[in-house]
Each structure stands twice: as C-alpha cells, then as structure tokens.
Homo-oligomer: A and B are copies of this chain.
Amino acid sequence: MEPEIEQDRANDALEAETLFDAPTMAEQERMVEAVLFASKEPVTIRELMSRLPKGCDALQAVEQLRNRYEGRGVRVVQVGPAYAIRTAPDLAHIMQKETVENRKLSRAAIETLAIVAYHQPVTRAEIEEIRGVSVSRGTIDQLLELDWIRLGRRKMTPGRPVTFVVTPTFLDQFGLESARDLPGLKELRGAGLLENRPPSGLFGGDETAEEQAELFEDADPAQTSG
C-alpha cells in the first residue's frame, strides 16, 4: 500500500472519531450494493473507499454482500483488485436479448491470447517460438484493442524487448478472479510446459530463452491483479 493511502486512512480514522461514527456494517453493505449495481465496470476497493463515508470498511462490506448473493440470480464476483455484480452463468439461456455478438477471433489470435495468459510476461519472439510461426501484425493489435492484453515490463535481455500481459478486462471477460485461476495452470506448470527450455539452437537462435525462464520465475503472477 502506498504511503499516501495510509495517510488517508489515518486521517479517515481521525475524522471519523471526531466528527461522526461510521455507518453500521449493514448500511455500508447497502452502499456497496448500490455502487456495484450502478456500475458496468468492476469497482476497485480503493474506489469504493473513496465513495463511502469516512471510516467504512469496504472490503468487509463487499465480502458480506458476496455471501448474501450466494445462489441468487446475480452474484458478486471478484475481478483482479475489483468487484462487480454479474448475472449467474446458469441463467444464460434466458438472457439471449442481452447477448453481444463478439467478433470471431482467429485461431492465431486465440492461441496468442492463451500464450500471453499462461506465459506472461511474454515477448513477441517467445510467442513465435511457442507457435512455431510468426505472429501477424493484426493479431497483437486486435488483442490490444479488445483490451485483453497490454504491455508489461520490458525484459532485461539484449534488445530489452517489450512484453505482453493480460488485463483486468480479460479477467472480467472470462470470469477469472486473477491470472492464477487460469484453468489447468498448475498442471501445465507441473508438467514443465510453461518453461522456456533452451531450444539447443533449434529454429532461430534463442539465446535469451534461459534468461527468460528466470525472469518468469521472478514474475509475480499477481501483477495483473495488482
């Protein structure tokens, strides 16, 4: 947490004590409910705190609200560091009217997306190494435009190539709480399939492969949710 926020909270606590009592937890829950209902986009805890009166505990209120909606027609879901209300997936069949036709993604785009999600942060060269074919210009553009991927940190390898990581929008789209919840992530990692083994000079020199593997180990998978 940044010192600035710490400071804010300290101030909040002070003001709350001196000026008025914070609303009851039931009241806080109502407020969180209203805010989450009013927004299409996930709302971060930080944003909730800024909108609730001083002295509120937004996180606890959200958790309580989440429990309350368990099993209902809509539910509280976590999307990275934020929360949103979404309809229950089992009711998809009565929601045809709201269904939006998504642009069909090409096979290349889908594979590229999966590689970014499972291997992030990943460079274009690494995507190409895994797919064994060059990534066309439009593919990356399309994923950037959908706001499903974004630029991550540059890699500390020669040329300092840019990397790609997935976004909160991606998490929201696929109903994931964080990139850690990707299906089969553990199994793939266990099977060594997310490693970037040195290709022993196979197709095109990839001297960077080893360094990349290290970098990946260091990378915090939570960074997309942070």
Complex A-B, nearest 5 residue pairs according to Cβ-Cβ distance, in ascending order: A33-B73, A137-B192, A30-B73, A34-B73, A34-B87
Closest to A2 in B: B168
B residues within 8 A CB of A97? 39, 51
Distance in angstroms between the alpha carbons of A221 and B7 in the assembled complex: 26
Contacting pair A91 B30 (CB below 8 A): yes
Residues of chain B within 8 A (CB-CB) of A73 are 29-35, 37
Query: Which residues of A approach B to under 8 Å, CB–CB?
Result: 29-35, 37-39, 51-53, 72-74, 85, 87-88, 91, 94-95, 97-98, 124, 137-138, 140-141, 150-154, 160-162, 167, 175-178, 180-183, 187, 190-193, 217
Report copies per complex: 2
Contact B175 A34 (CB under 8 A): no
Whether A34 lies near B177 (C-beta < 8 A) is: no
Which of chain B's residues has its CB closest to A56's CB? B94
Residue numbers in B under 8 Å from A191 (CB-CB): 137, 140-141
Residues of B within 8 A of A141 (CB): 191-193
Q: How far is the CB of A31 from chain B (nearest CB, A)?
A: 6
The answer to whether B192 touches A175, judged by C-beta atoms less than 8 angstroms apart, is no
Whether the pair B154, A94 counts as a contact (CB closer than 8 A) is no
Give the residue name and chain of the B residue nearest to A48 (CB): B94
Are A34 and B192 in contact, with the CB atoms below 8 A? no
Chain B hits for A88, CB < 8 A: 30, 34
Contact status A74-B31, CB under 8 Å = no
